[in-house]
Amino acid sequence: MRCTHSTCCMNLSAAKITVILLALLTVFCVIIQMKVNFFPKSKELIQTSTRMVKVSTGTGETNITEHSMTYLSACRVKKLRKYCSGFKKYVVISYPNYNQYGSSLTDWIWMTSPYHHLFYCATAKCGSTTWKSYLMKDLKIDWHNGTHEAAIKYLGTSSVVQKNYDGDSVKFLKTYRPEHRLIIVRNPWARLVSAYQDKIVTKKMSLQKLCYGWQAYEGLSNISFHQFIDCVQKKPENIMYNSHTQPILSLCGVCHMDYNIILKLEEMNKGEEYLIRHLNFSIQLDYKPLNKMEYKSHYRDYYTGLPENVIQQLQILYKDDIALFDYPNSPFL
């Protein structure tokens, strides 16, 4: 039986649509399979060009080889640049006034070594003392009478900012571009515990000083971790400017300085080898890797018993560090 012109056109159109839909479905399935292969789930294996690398995501920890550091660092840099391109205005609002607090940052945190073609944001409680000493050792500088004091003199950026940028710290961050621009980050839950142990338990710093005059616990000789966290949360407008508890995102001006090396303290047993190679170190280093199981168990214990609302407030304070550097959203994960 002959069909009319309109009937044939309808059948032809339906056939074309069916073919197109099947083609799109095939392409979609291929893309999904490529994503599964390219972005493996937690604890799956990634086959690199030279060796097998086990990567554990979502916990902030990695079990890796030195050769994979380039891949991991590049992924973090890409993620950070994408984040800054979309949320730069929001991120910059959270920054402290760098020009007002510039000397404490340019003297203690923002380090540079022209010999190594390096800018290094020496984030407190992220191995900064160790790496300052490594840099000065490679430069054959005697730092044994005081690591931080020597670092201020030989690695600090105060003179560079004053001389070349008219004291404008923001302009310095936006335009200073040595070959290597490094951040070493750390699990914020573990970093808080380290700050408490190093500054409060050892009494290197009083809680009143840490909170810039807050007198809530005045007269107490033994400050609990819960009281320390209370200080961090109740004086955020001031505590944000303490480098031991300040989120790394704002401490290092990550959306001003275009960082191209992002490593984690938890993986520095291999990150050390990566940096030695990239920075052309002439010395051999003796970095002691973390015992990951003991490390996690140790810092988790401090948070046991803290009210849920306290944990939630800390999640808000460090939300960007947690998200950007792939750390757990809870100390118990």
Q: What is the mean pLDDT of each run of 10 residues along the chain (333 residues)?
A: 47 55 54 40 31 42 62 92 81 70 79 96 92 93 87 92 91 95 95 88 67 57 83 60 80 91 89 88 73 64 92 92 93 86
Is residue 313 classed exposed, middle or buried when 0-12, 13-18 and 19+ CB atoms within 10 A define those classes? Answer: middle
Return d(Cα 128, Cα 331) in angstroms, integer. 23
* CA gap 221, 206 in Å, rounded: 9
In this predicted structure, what is the pLDDT of residue 218?
A: 61
**Which residues lie below 8 Å from residue 225, measured CB to CB, with a gap of 6+?**
193, 196, 302
Predicted pLDDT of residue 63: 52
pTM: 0.75
Q: Give the integer Cα–Cα distance in Å for 56 and 59.
A: 7
Q: What's the chain's length in residues?
A: 333
Which bin fits 127, alpha (ψ -120 to 50), beta or left (φ > 0)? left
